Amino acid sequence: MDEINVKTILSGVQPTGILTIGNYIGAIQNWKLLENEYKCIYPIVDLHSLTVRQDPKQFKDLCISMLAQYLACGLDAKKNILFFQSHVRQHTELAWLLSCHTYLGELSRMTQFKEKSEKHRDNINAGLFTYPILQAADILLYQACKVPVGEDQKQHLELARDIAIRFNNIYGKTFVVPEPHVPQMGARIMSLQEPSNKMSKSDTNINGTIFLLDSDKVTLKKIKRAVTDNKNRISYNDNQLGIKNLMTIYMTLTKESIREIEEKYTDKGYGAFKNDLAEIVVENLRPVREKYAELMDNKDYLVSIYKDGAEKAGEIAENTMKKVRDNIGLIK
Ligand code: ATP
Ligand code: LTN
């Protein structure tokens, strides 16, 4: 069993919109590199999204859309377990048991809770507060050893580790203690309008964000309008954050080195560079958009993927839960 555990990777994304080129470069492209080496489990964490009020009809569409986006980006459903968190009931069962082993003080230190309660002042619900416990359950349920997450989720992962260690100390070894996974291509894509901020799918300034399903025309327009500076020099440095960000996108999509890109554009200005970059982005995203449209036209196939995923995930989850229930003293 440990042999299997050592090789499990797990990460979750909330179904709250369309993935950005930041998610694609920073997360999904890296996940693809792992699929042959690890057992990869990617729940679409629908229950987490309910900490913010969702329109029920729209939410169903968002969830299906997220699954189609994963597949359209090239995640292979045969090699990765893709499913909806809510379809594997053990997530919420474990979350309760873990909540009895988590302190209020720990939860009140979470910066995401502080930020989100600022943002949603009219709906500071208990779920928002206990959100990291459900996240810990997602991870510990599958005995994941590595969790690919961005900077902002490191604190939640640290808490998941603390809970796992505490539980193991009280009841004997029950959970693998997870570690963050630092991706090989660790690029962080910034907003095209405010290059000191991360590009994010929930950013209200949509001109700063390239969504995977943006049309060619929209992508072109967003790149042309991307904030740069007046140096008109293609150089990768911290005094030219806008151009640095565009070069990062260029580099990760073409696999050319920064040096090669700088040389290629020594005698050229921002206009030419932006035109070429737009073409590269458009060429990369077009197949994703086409595949997405095809998938959304084939709902039966999507249903078969998430059902199969939930079945596989459910088996692993139940194995862990048997051990947890027994260790904690619940009668079989
Ligand atoms: P939201 O706006 O809903 O908070 P987000 O777009 O910031 O979402 P997450 O859902 O928090 O993204 O993250 C999903 C995955 O994508 C994580 O692994 C995260 O590290 C990665 N990711 C998100 N934004 C970027 C980015 N701008 N650059 C690189 N990787 C990113
Ligand atoms: N909280 C994460 C999403 C998330 C997650 C997880 C990430 C839920 N469960 C388990 C990694 C592992 C977020 O907001 N990005």
CA of 145 to the centre of ligand 1 (A): 21
Return the pLDDT at 186: 65
Residue ranges of domains in the chain: 3-186+299-328, 206-293
Query: What Å distances lie between residue 315 and 16, 247, 267, CA to CA?
Result: 27, 44, 59
Please say whether the beta carbons of 94 and 56 come within 8 A: no
Instruction: State residue 151's pLDDT score.
Output: 81
Residue range 224-247: average pLDDT? Answer: 96
For residue 273, what pLDDT band results from cuts at 50, 70 and 90?
very high
Residues whose CB is less than 8 angstroms from the CB of residue 114 and which lie 6 or more positions away in sequence, other chains included: none
Residue 234 CA to residue 243 CA, distance in Å, equals 7
> Residue type for 79, please?
K
CATH, domain range 3-186+299-328: 3.40.50.620
Question: For 236, phi and psi rounded to 5 degrees?
Answer: -95, 95
Whose C-alpha lies nearest to ligand 1, atom 7? 200
Give the pTM: 0.94
Note the CATH number of domain 206-293.
1.10.240.10
Residue of 200, 204, 206 best suited for mutating to test ligand 1, as the one with most atoms within 8 Å of CB: 200
Three-state secondary-structure class, residue 24: helix
What integer pLDDT is reported at residue 5 of this predicted model?
46
2-12 confidence digits (pLDDT tens): 444 448 999 99
Contacts of 19 (CB under 8 A, 6+ apart): 13, 28, 66, 69, 73, 201, 211, 212
Give me the half-sphere count of Cα atoms (radius 13 Å) on the Cβ side of residue 290.
Answer: 7
User: What are the tens digits of pLDDT across the range 90-126?
Assistant: 999 999 999 999 999 999 999 999 998 998 899 999 9
pLDDT for 184: 67
Asked if the model's pLDDT at residue 213 lies above 60, the reply is yes
Instruction: Give residues (CB < 6 A) around ligand 2.
Output: 10-12, 14, 45, 48, 135, 138-139, 147, 149, 153, 156
Q: What is the percentage of the chain residues whose pLDDT exceeds 90?
A: 91
Distance of CA 57 from the midpoint of ligand 2 (Å)? 23
Which is nearest to 288 in space by CA: 18, 114, 71, 85? 71
Q: Is 312 a catalytic residue?
A: no
Task: Sort 160 into a burial class: Cβ within 10 Å, 0-12 / 13-18 / 19+.
Answer: buried
| Mean pLDDT of the residues in the chain | 95
| pLDDT of 276 higher than 90 | yes
- DSSP string over 191-229: PSSSTTSB--TT-S-GGG--BTT--HHHHHHHHHT----
Q: Which residues lie with the beta carbon below 6 Å from any ligand 1 atom?
A: 11, 13-14, 16, 20, 22-23, 25-27, 148-150, 188-189, 198-202
